[in-house]
Structure 1
Amino acid sequence: MSEYRSYGYLTPGADLPVFDLAPEFGRVPPYSGELTEAEATRASRLLRDNIVISLHDHPVRFPSDMRHTPEYNRTGRQHTAFAGLMASEMTVVFDNMMDGTACVTGNAPWRWLDIITDLGMRQADIAHQDDVIVIRTMADIDHAHRSGKVGLLFGLEAATPIENEIDRLDVLYGLGLRQIGIAYSDANTLGSGLNETTDGGLTGFGRRAVTRMNKLGLAIDISHSSDRTGLDVCAASERPVFMTHAGARAIWDTPRMKPDDVLRAVAGTGGVIGMSAAPHTTLSHDHPRHDILSVMDHFRYCVDLVGIEHVAFGPDTLYGDHVGLHTVFGHLLKRPGGGPSYEKVEYVDGLENPTENFGNICGRLVREGLSDKEIAAVLGGNIRHALDGIWA
């Protein structure tokens, strides 16, 4: 493994500003999984032998003080956590870049130029090292697994930057994007987002966009879409649809979680539902203090509802203070409110960053008695199977 650090081909202070960034290891105490020696050995074997895919994460380092993030993002460069990724035991990460914090040229996100800058800068950095590769095809996934590399599959949480220009989907695909959401909190030309008081569903333009995404081989995500929009997308798409990072509203009743009909609709397309762990989202009444056990409550519910072949994990984590990020960017991210009261946490114990996530997830799956075949499916097999249908 090389010792390359992000943007190491540039001279700090001359070519780019220097920021005090969050560490890739040890920011918070390690999770105590309470595995027996046999369970730990089995979990390690399963991680080693199988393709492991995160359906949604941000594998980059943020400033140690999240208040410096707007200035940091203004440079157009987020620093990939190369060392953290190589220690993560993941094969592929669906990497959604700056997304709603991409305020490179202005004070609002989702601008076309900002997204293009983000996508280009990240890949320029990756091109200067050998441990992490960009995923564009199924062969790339298999290569990453065989060679012990980590693959980044680039995506966007919303198609807002295409505005009303459908050919921009082709441009994004050509620049390496392989997954895209419909809408984030606010509605756009494609459909309604989570925060809209009137749910208009998928627009006529949105239906044309879904058809183009299918033709291109762009995986579609409805995590931040409204309920009606999500159902409309599943009905319109001829390819599997992803819900990359959310949970079940039956377990925690907030707009950020999805109702049973939407979960079933995703599964009905042959798609996959990824369990999120963004702070204060996938809580549960059994575990209202958000940690890995809360997330597992959503996992078990979804498995019982739609079958294990349609469930995976999209933790939605990063390197830095995720709770602080929501505070700094709350006016832009507009996370929907409502729902039961809960105790706020400083971090989600067991699912705090991309390095530790899947070791702890696999340990929980082993501890809960899933078979090797079931665990292999959840770790990445289900996602790979869905991508076969999307990229065909």
Structure 2
Amino acid sequence: MSSSSSSPVLPAGNAPQYSGYTAYGYLEAGRDYQHFDLAAEVDRVPARAFDLDEEQRARMRRLMDENIVLSLHEHAIVLPDDGDQVRRYNRTGRQRTGYEGLSRSGLTAVIDNFMAGASCVTSQSGWKWDDMIYALGFRLADLAKQDYVRLATSVDDIHAAKRDGRVALIAGFECSTMIENELDRIDMLYGFGVRQLGIAYSQSNMLGSGLSEPADGGLTNFGRRAVDRMNKLGMLIDISHSGDRTCLETIDHSAVPVMITHAGARAVWPIDRMKSDETIIACAERGGLIGLEAAPHTTISSDHLTHSIDSVMDHFRYCVDLVGIDHVSFGPDTMFGDHVAVHKAYAGNYAQKSPEHEKHPRVEYVEGLENPGENFWNITAWLVEHGYSDEDIAKVIGGNAMRVLGEVW
């Protein structure tokens, strides 16, 4: 018997280890920091329904329970309920971790990219060193005041989170612009707990070219030195927002695998934000992964023009066919709240170099992959619904990522 069309996949209730702590609960809102009415972490949008019978639903829950579940890229913060307040909220530097949402997520670990480029505490343009320290310092201080979500700096920390029923948060920044020409700042970030660093965020920097530039100059000499330093430290390198040549030269120069933590296949949807077959293949051949993303209006497909989990899974299937199941995972790139409002708030900061591939319906959210609390339940449900084996599901929801992190860290 199939499940009801209105029945959500998400489990009822909080994980038993979660005590109900909310971000900055050790301080007084309105006195110690600025208050904002926040978006709902649970049931903000209707749940995606899957046509699973009871046996399939039990299998989905078992797979989530038995395996390490790791998201390659999220921003696990709660946004203001009023999208017009996004910039003002981010300028305080105190983004709120979505503890309640994470408690329902089924995640063992998440690479959290901190909304750092949007913090804009000292500058409207973002990606300043001081802004990164605000974003990192405030949230890690808050993390230290509770015991459910724990900062992870090693593979052992992730295994410990699985054993203890907690969530491991891996600190990452999707861009290195803020290190400027200071190589030692990579060591400083590592010392602060950061374990993943991107090369460039759409715009070029001292390391290499971003994907929005009219031409790609590739990985610079300083970029090569930065890659060497990240390799020596054990820092995961992300090339999601870099241009094609910069991606290929980073893959080639790194002594260990790199990741495309959040993107899709340009062959499925030909916009600059997606990755070329050449890049995806090169990344996989050196042992790396591509994580499929779900930021609104990115991983669309011609078969599913209305962006949803079905669009994203068209990219997933393509990448599996292209490089094999061992080199594909998921980095949905979501947050708790209105992601489209964030895009609108920062539309002038990161313009792309080419127009949209073609007209497609605009969405208020990506159905089935709207926030970190629901993403991997729905990914696993989709994979079960479409007949993937237990072994393959275990790989793409976390096993592949753990293999690469074990080699890099």
Question: How far off is 1:198 after superposition?
Answer: 1.1
Correspondence for 1:34 among 31, 51, 55: 51
Matches within 5 A, 1:360-371: 360-371=378-389
Please tell me whether residue 354 in structure 1 is matched to residue 363 in structure 2: no
The aligned counterpart of 1:13 is: 30
* Equivalent residues, number: 391
Give the letter for the 2:374 counterpart. Answer: E
AA aligned to 2:239 is I
Task: Say if 1:256 and 1:336, in contact at 8 Å, map to a contact too.
Answer: no
Say whether 1:268 aligns with 2:285.
Answer: yes
* Pair 1:280–1:29, CA change in 2 (3 A): same
**Structure 2: runs of 5+ lacking an equivalent:** 1-17
C-alpha distance in 1 between matches for 2:201 and 2:190: 20
Alignment of 1:205-220 (within 5 A): 205-220=222-237
Q: Is the 8 A contact 1:279 1:348 kept in 2?
A: yes
In structure 2, C-alpha distance between the alignment counterparts of 1:239 and 1:229, rounded to whole Å:
16
From 366, 389, 392, the counterpart of 1:374: 392
Structure 2 Cα separation of the partners of residues 99 and 74 of structure 1: 10
Q: Is the 8 A contact 2:69 2:398 kept in 1?
A: yes
Q: Which residue is equivalent to 1:143?
A: 160
1:234 aligned to 2:245? Answer: no
Select the residue among 140, 154, 164 that pairs with 2:181: 164
SS in 2 for 1:375: helix
1:155 paired residue among 146, 163, 172 = 172
Q: What secondary structure does 1:250 align onto?
A: coil
Give the conservation status (yes or no) of the 8 Å contact 1:159–1:183.
yes
Q: Which amino acid aligns with 2:363?
A: V
Whichever residue aligns with residue 38 of structure 2, its letter is L
Classify 1:126/1:285 alpha carbon distance in 2 versus 1 (closer, same or farther; 3 Å): same
Shift of 1:100: 2.2
- Determine if the alignment matches structure 1 residue 194 to structure 2 residue 211: yes
The structural deviation recorded for 1:305 is 0.5
Which residue number corresponds to residue 327 of structure 1?
344
* Higher mean C-alpha displacement, 145-154 vs 324-333: 324-333
Q: 1:43-82 residue pairs with structure 2 within 5 A? A: 43-82=60-99
In 1, Cα distance between equivalents of 2:244 and 2:143: 36
Hey, what's the Cα distance between the residues in 1 that align with 2:148 and 2:219?
40
**Retained in 2: the 8 A contact 1:52–1:380?**
yes
Q: CA deviation at 1:340?
A: 2.1
The answer to whether the 8 Å contact 1:101/1:332 transfers is: no
TM-score, normalisation: structure 1? 0.98
Q: Is 2:363 aligned against 1:345?
A: yes
Q: Deviations over 1:187-227 (max 9, x none)?
A: 00000001100110111100111111100111000000000
Q: 1:50-88, CA deviations, whole angstroms, 9 ceiling, x for partnerless residues?
A: 000000001100111121111111211000000110110
Structure 1 unaligned residues grouped into runs of 5+: none
1:335 Cα deviation (Å)?
4.4
Could you list the per-position Cα deviations for residues 237-295 of structure 1 after superposition, in whole angstroms to 9, with x for gaps in the alignment? 01110000000000000000001000011101211110000000000011110000000
Whole-Å Cα distance in 2 between the matches of residues 214 and 162 of structure 1? 16
Q: What is the distance in 2 between the residues matched to 1:42 and 1:193? A: 41
- Residue of structure 1 equivalent to 2:6: none
**Structure 2 counterpart SS, 1:332:** coil
**Residues 100, 333 of structure 1: 8 Å contact kept:** no
After the TM superposition, which of the residue ranges 34-43 and 370-379 deviates more from structure 2? 34-43
Shift of the 2–335 alpha-carbon distance from structure 1 to 2, 3 Å rule, reads: farther
Does residue 387 in structure 1 map to residue 402 in structure 2?
no
Aligned partners of 2:119 and 2:125: how far apart in 1? 8
